[in-house]
Amino acid sequence: MSRNAKINTLLLLVVAALAVLPLLLGLGDHKEEPFTGADAEAETAITELEPDYEPWFSPLYEPPSGEIESALFALQAALGAGVLAYYFGLRKGRRQGEAHAAATATATATDGTTPAGTTAGSSAAATVAPAGDE
């Protein structure tokens, strides 16, 4: 198993433990709603400290039910994960392209031929585009 595979497995186990341990240990059993979000916790704390408090702003859109709110949150998370995956995939592809171009350039410099098998000074070699110019 490679070093990266070991690190990824360890991180996956840590994430699974963070999700499962609070449920197994019963950390939210004493509450009416055991695992509410930070917004609900903050709202409860504010109303306990200052019962007459009125918020400065109101939401632009209030979903009609909790299920719709959860679905919108999941959609937001999925879109964010997609953008991050695209970015990291693009960076990895560019890195691999640069490594391939460098390897090709090294091979060209050592034996005097291009990837197509022609000599470096011929006109056919001039038509071959570098890997990163697409």
pLDDT at residue 134 above 50? no
Q: How far apart are CA 133 and CA 131, in angstroms?
A: 6
Q: Residue 78's pLDDT is what?
A: 97
The pLDDT tens digits for 93-109 are 999 999 999 999 888 87
**Single-letter residue type at 38:** A
- The percentage of residues in the chain with a pLDDT greater than 70, rounded to a whole number, is 79
Do 105 and 97 contact (CB within 8 A), yes or no? no
3-state helix, strand, coil in the chain (%, to 5): 65, 0, 35
Q: Which residues pair with 119 in a beta bridge?
A: 113
Evaluate if residue 125 carries a pLDDT over 80.
Answer: no
For the chain, the C-alpha Rg in angstroms (whole number) is: 28
| Mean pLDDT computed over every residue of the chain | 82
* Whole-number Å distance between alpha carbons of 94 and 130: 13
